[in-house]
Amino acid sequence: MTFVQNIGAITLDWLISVGRSGLFIVQSILHKPKSLRVATQLFIKQLYSVGVLSLVIIMVSGLFIGMVLALQGYTILVKFGSEQAVGQLLALTLLRELSPVVAALLFAGRACSALTAEIGLMKATEQLSSLEMMGVDPYRRIIAPRFLAGLVCLPILSLVFSTVGVLGGEFVAVDWLGIHGGSFWSLMQQSVYFSTDVVNGVIKAFCFAIATTWIAVYQGYECEPTSEGISRATTRTVVLGSLSILALDFILTAAMFGDF
């Protein structure tokens, strides 16, 4: 086969898998739940394992990143005599970039990998098959609640990340480095706009959530049902998830904050 044919074949394979995964996720969420009560229960259970269990790592990371940002920002800004602006630097960096991106990367590593492994193991132990044979659609029962929980949890985690980060940054800047609290907050409030900065950050987190959770559930469902298959699928979830977060971030940033 020639080089061109190879490229063609790879592109075709890729397009097919994109199409498959697209149909897969659409079929999963376009289900009318059989019983709203059961669907809610399943959803809450997933909110717990996807969201609540990711909270600690998100909060600890947010705290440290906020503190580091304040420290780094201070050492640079103090040279220009505008160290009060550290609050503004902190808040804008967190809200626009770091919170959605870092929270999503941690989410891909903590929650999405677990989703892939869980679904993959269900497949390997024939639990998915036995659901199908019982006439229970695994799309509705297994995939949909996990995917939807991901969509809800990541924006929340990103908001929590920002909040903890700002608190950590304030601790370093105001309590430790002795920047005047009034100017710290007022400069921050002057430059941060709720409708652009906070809302855009949430939109970013939501887009990342779609990408990573989609990849996670698809990789789990389509994995080869063996130990190596599951481990490969889990790795792919983290790698593809992280890469798509970074690529999406570039596109979204250009669309939201670029002045073209």
Residues that bind other proteins (CB under 8 A): 27, 34, 38, 41, 44-45, 47-48, 51-52, 55, 80-82, 84-85, 88, 91, 95, 125-127, 129-130, 132-137, 153, 155-156, 159-160, 162-163, 166, 185-194, 197-198
CB 61, min distance to other proteins, A: 15
Q: What minimum distance in Å lies between the beta carbon of 237 and other proteins? A: 20
Tokens of 130: 């036995």
Report the nearest approach of other proteins to the CB of residue 101 (Å).
17
Closer to other proteins by CB, 160 or 238: give it: 160
Listed residue (16, 14, 27) closest to 217, CA to CA: 27
Nearest CB to other proteins, comparing residues 106 and 188: 188
| Amino acid (one-letter) located at 45 | K
Question: Which one, 166 or 240, has the nearer CB to other proteins?
Answer: 166
For the residues of 206-260, what is the DSSP string, one character each? HHHHHHHHHHHHHHHHHS-SSHHHHHHHHHHHHHHHHHHHHHHHHHHHHHHH---
Measured from the CB atom, is 69 or 85 closer to other proteins? 85
d(CA 42, CA 147): 12
* Tokens 């481990």, residue located: 231
- Minimum distance from residue 32 beta carbon to other proteins (Å): 11
Of 152 and 210, which CB lies nearer to other proteins in the complex structure?
A: 152
**Closer residue to other proteins (CB): 14 or 257:** 257
Q: Which residue has the tokens 């570039």?
A: 250
Alpha carbon 173 to its chain centroid, in Å, reads 28
Q: Report the alpha-carbon distance of residue 233 to residue 25 in Å, rounded.
A: 17
Q: From the DSSP assignment, how many helices (H) and strands (E) are in the chain?
A: 12, 0
**DSSP annotation of 179:** -
Least gap, CB of 7 to other proteins (angstroms): 26
Minimum distance of other proteins from residue 45's CB (angstroms): 7
